[in-house]
Amino acid sequence: MDVGILGPLTVRLNGQSIVPSAGKPRQLLALLAIRAERVVTVPTLMEEIWGDAIPKSAATTLQTYILHLRRKVTAALRADGPGCGPGRDGDAKEVLTTCFGGYRLAVRPEDSDLREFQSLAVRGSTALEAGDPRAASVTLERALGLWRGPALVDVPVGRVLGVEVLGMEEQRTRVLEQRIEADLLLGRHASLLAELRMLVARHPMNENLAAQLMTALYRSGGVWRALEVFQELRRTLIEELGVEPSHRLQRLHQAVLSGEPGLELEWERAQYAGPSLMRT
């Protein structure tokens, strides 16, 4: 089975798509795919599909959706050739299993783009912390390359999936920040400017990205532009949240003002050794 979550939902078995066209069954499959190899309880599935307006017929309707998915699984298994039964992927009830209190979708970690992304993210972060920015940059870029657009962009998102999607997008942003940190350590300041300007415009209250843009501008000779980035961030934080930038960002601002590269590098090291500064 090949599962794609980082973009439009794709679930293929023996080369055949098993993604339903109807919205609610797509939600069901998406949630099972995100939590692959884990039991998703019936109440959780109902909350995702119906929210607070769970109908009296919900249990029966949910079973109908499961039956529909299993029929698509069966058709995909049969497409592999006559007599295809428990072979490579097993029968439908082995692929989409009924467990005590819920259901589980059988997906190997290597067959899910989400699991591969998370694995590469850990490896890249570890390389960055170990002082190997070149390996970190390559690995983190591989992780980011798995994304085909916003997660589950073609799936109706309820309460449960909404939390899952938010978490995935936050992971994506953090991996992007770490890849940029690695590239800054490799001296790729000028080549990062266009990307960072776009990201800061898209995430105007993200202090990590603002700091990275300030660093790239400073090292590219744009000191006054780096100061402008700080002032714009400060104005946004005060207007939107009523707070000043963090002390660490203020120290970077002072380092730019006084031209102290030591403090600038100290900020950069702290970025991947310490907690994230992202405000959302």
Is residue 20 one of the residues assigned to a domain?
A: yes
CATH classification of the domain holding 251: 1.25.40.10
Average pLDDT over residues 232-247: 96
DSSP 146: T
What are the pLDDT digits (tens) for 3-25?
A: 999 999 999 999 999 999 999 99
* Same domain membership, residue 203 and residue 106: no
Rounded Cα–Cα distance for residues 236 and 234 (Å): 5
From 111, 137, 163, the end of a domain falls on: 111
Rounded Cα–Cα distance for residues 248 and 261 (Å): 15
Q: Which domain holds residue 76?
A: 2-111
In contact, 259 and 227? CB cutoff 8 Å: no
Q: What is the pLDDT of residue 258?
A: 86
What are the pLDDT digits (tens) for 84-122?
A: 444 444 588 899 999 999 999 999 999 999 999 999 999
Number of domains in the chain: 2
Is residue 240 one of the residues assigned to a domain?
A: yes
Is residue 120 one of the residues assigned to a domain?
A: no
Rounded Cα–Cα distance for residues 23 and 203 (Å): 30
**Amino acid present at 279:** R
What is the sign of the dihedral through the CA atoms of 212, 217, 223 and 229?
A: negative
From 111, 139, 162, the end of a domain falls on: 111
DSSP 204: T
CATH classification of the domain holding 105: 1.10.10.10
Is residue 52 one of the residues assigned to a domain?
A: yes
Is residue 8 one of the residues assigned to a domain?
A: yes
Is residue 141 one of the residues assigned to a domain?
A: no
From 74, 96, 111, the end of a domain falls on: 111
What are the pLDDT digits (tens) for 244-260?
A: 999 999 999 999 998 87
What are the pLDDT digits (tens) for 131-190?
A: 999 999 999 999 999 999 999 999 999 999 999 999 999 999 999 999 999 999 999 999
Q: What is the pLDDT of residue 259?
A: 81
Planar angle of CA 188, 145, 104, nearest 5 degrees: 145
E-state strands within the chain? 2-4, 10-13, 16-17, 40-41, 96-99, 102-105
Is residue 228 one of the residues assigned to a domain?
A: yes
**Alpha-carbon dihedral angle through residues 108, 110, 112, 118, given to the nearest 10 degrees:** 120
* Same domain membership, residue 103 and residue 13: yes
Nearest to 279 by CA among 171, 174, 207: 207
Confidence class for position 221, pLDDT limits 50, 70, 90: confident
Is the predicted pLDDT of residue 239 greater than 70, yes or no? yes
Is residue 158 one of the residues assigned to a domain?
A: no
Confidence class for position 279, pLDDT limits 50, 70, 90: very low
Q: What is the pLDDT of residue 274?
A: 43
